[in-house]
Chains A and B, each alone.
Chain A
Amino acid sequence: MNNNKLSTVKQREAFFMALYKKAFPIVARYVARMGGSLEEAQDIFQDMLVIYYEKVASAQAEIIVNEKAYLLGIAKKLWVRRYKAGLKNQPLNDFDIEVIPDEQLANGKILHYLETAGKKCMELLKAYYYDGLPVSNVATLFGYSGTHSATVAKYKCLEKVRETVKQNSLNYADFIE
């Protein structure tokens, strides 16, 4: 997958819409066969698309030969994990993320703060680290004059968010002591 094709909300909308048309019927049939409802199929499908998007956006994206089978495979795993185990409300698992346990609780608070106070930075960092967009693309999307300015902006944003994380972790340490 060329990440340039998933740079904007509009492009991603078309991407997700195509996947709904292509794979939602087979996932729905599977969930129905397992005794699930339409709402449950929709929940599973949403989480499956997040996982699939992360896969295609990542630097280590592999070539997926049979997309439908691959998507159904993810959906089956999600169903087994979240429904068969009776953990219907378990959020998407972030197994790959290394979070310092003591700070996990504080993350929700930081996130809320960053969504308002640091939205532009978070969007820029999302484009780099999550959407995996090339720097030239990020420069154009965010209105920077060139790749150097965009790169410097990335590190400035990273510094700003890291400082927030650090301050919050210090407050949290004070709180638990």
Chain B
Amino acid sequence: MRTSLNNIKTIDDYLLGNMAPGDALLFEANMLLNSDLPDDMKHQQNTYAIIRQYSSQKIKAEIVAVQKILATAPQHRGFMHRIADIFKKH
């Protein structure tokens, strides 16, 4: 892999706890010497947050699609009636 990708991998290993303790210490020392590294780490952390936000939206859309199938498919009509009945009783 080219150097920039190796740097990404190193930060990835460090942030996700996949680095051996000795290597992690070395990485932390490097952070004091390399002025770009803290910024790169900050951006990478924010990247993970964006990946998670993107992913949870996708999963939620899949769940909503399942709910739509339940609400419309004839084979689930009995189940949905039983659910609707729960709210009629209250």
Contacts and interface: CB of A to CB of B under 8 A. Distances in A.
Nearest to B9: A155
A98 B62 CA distance: 25
Given A17-B66, A17-B70, A28-B87, A111 B55 contact: no
A68 B84 CA distance: 20
Interface string B40-80: 10111111111111111111101111110110000000010
A24 B50 CA distance: 30
A100, A131, A159 interface centre (most CB from chain B within 10 Å): A159
A46 B64 contact: yes
Given A16-B63, A103-B46, A35 B12 contact: no
A100 B79 contact: no
B45 A20 contact: no
B5 interface: yes
Nearest to B82: A25
26 contacts: A13-B62, A21-B79, A24-B83, A29-B86, A37-B87, A38-B83, A42-B67, A46-B64, A50-B60, A50-B63, A54-B56, A100-B45, A103-B46, A107-B46, A107-B50, A115-B54, A126-B51, A129-B55, A130-B51, A130-B55, A155-B12, A158-B44, A159-B4, A162-B47, A166-B39, A166-B43
